[in-house]
Amino acid sequence: MSPSRSNRFQEFFEDDKYIALKNYLYNYLLRKKAIETVLQNEKKELVLEVGSGISPILTEIDSLVYSDISMLAMRTLRQMRGRGKYVVADGIGLPFRNGVFSHVISSEVLEHLEDDRKALSEISRVMKPSGVLVITFPHRRFYFSYDDRFVQHVRRYELSEMEDRLREVGLYPELVRKVLGPLEKITMCIVLSCVAVMQRLHMGRQRKVKSTELPAVLSSSFKWINRLYAGLARLDAIIMPRALSTVLLIRAVKR
């Protein structure tokens, strides 16, 4: 995310309840599963995840570099995981040498950046020849609405638009997969509308109250509900045509 834009997620990184539950959200689980599936049989040397926040996609290998513009996110992730390297970095100015990484992951990041072309150019620069980029991104401009503005999306993409952006920097799409369908859009609009109402109700509070522990029953229920809903959302993505997908995955190779 560009430094000129305030980072709404920074507020969430300071919320213990958000941290405790974020990695159980159904849409994160589905993005993680989709990317892991695409990369499962590939030989990975050194992997960069751009804009990981506190929710990285790959977690089972040691040759990983996590990066995010938020120092708090990197510190929190390091405390949670320990494995890998952690770098505070802006996606449009990656502090790495040319041709370092065999794989790069960028999941739900480019839509937050004012200069997404510069970010893709930087990603291509730090990749080895024949390196692999896997991205997920919000699909279809006509879906752009309140929930996109709430999470500070600058844009949504048409598939052909994203493919053109990748080719401009020498990254050639070889695989496109559906990740989420219209059910996810409906769900997020409803959920974020409820969140906005709750925020307005608490605007007058001067002191931020943080809870370091959630009731076990609430935490367990949240996790199981999201696991079950992930199955429903995945079925929706499979059934619906790609033209209605709300999130797509592209695997692209550097040539």
Q: How far apart are CA 132 and CA 129, in angstroms?
A: 9
For the entire predicted model, the pTM comes to 0.87
DSSP readout, 196-213? HHHHHHTTT--S----S-
pLDDT score, position 17: 62
pLDDT given for residue 61 in this prediction: 84
Report yes or no: 104 and 84 within 8 Å, Cβ to Cβ.
Answer: no
Does residue 1 sit within a domain? no
Query: How many structural domains comprise the chain?
Result: 1
What pLDDT, on a 0 to 100 scale, did the predictor assign at position 3?
A: 40
For the chain, the straight-line distance linking the first and the last C-alpha, in angstroms and rounded, comes to 27
Amino acid at 89: A
Q: Which amino acid is at 128?
A: K
pLDDT of residue 4: 39
Is residue 249 classed as helix, strand or coil in its secondary structure? strand
Which residues make beta-bridge pairs with 107?
136
CA distance 197 to 213: 24
182 inside domain? yes
Q: Does 201 map to a domain?
A: yes
- Asked whether residue 139 is domain-assigned, the answer is yes
Q: Is 3 inside any structural domain? A: no
Give the separation between CA 221 and CA 231, rounded to whole angstroms. 16
Long-range contacts of 68-71 (CB under 8 A, 24+ apart): 69/1, 69/3, 69/7, 70/7, 70/9, 70/10, 70/13
125: its two tokens? 């620069």
Q: How many CB atoms lie within 10 A of CB 220?
A: 11
Give CA–CA dist 216/221, Å, rounded.
Answer: 8
Q: Which residue segment(s) compose the domain that 30 sits in?
A: 8-254
Q: Is 40 exposed, middle or buried (0-12, 13-18, 19+ CB in 10 A)?
A: exposed
Residue type at 202 in one-letter notation: H
In a domain, 179, yes or no: yes
> Does residue 121 form part of some domain?
yes
Q: Does residue 189 fall inside a structural domain?
A: yes
- Phi and psi at 57, nearest 5°, equal -85, -55
CATH code, 87: 3.40.50.150
Listed residue (58, 76, 103, 92) closest to 19, CA to CA: 76
Phi, then psi, of 211 in degrees rounded to 5: -110, 125
Q: Look at residue 211 in the predicted model and tell me its pLDDT.
A: 47
If the chain, 255 residues long, is cut into consecutive pieces of 10 residues, what is the mean pLDDT of each piece? 48 58 88 95 94 90 92 89 90 96 97 96 98 98 92 95 98 98 92 73 54 57 89 96 97 97
| CA distances (Å), origin 243, targets 77, 133, 148, 158, 235 | 35, 23, 19, 9, 16
Q: Which residues pair with 254 in a beta bridge?
A: 171
pLDDT value of residue 1: 43
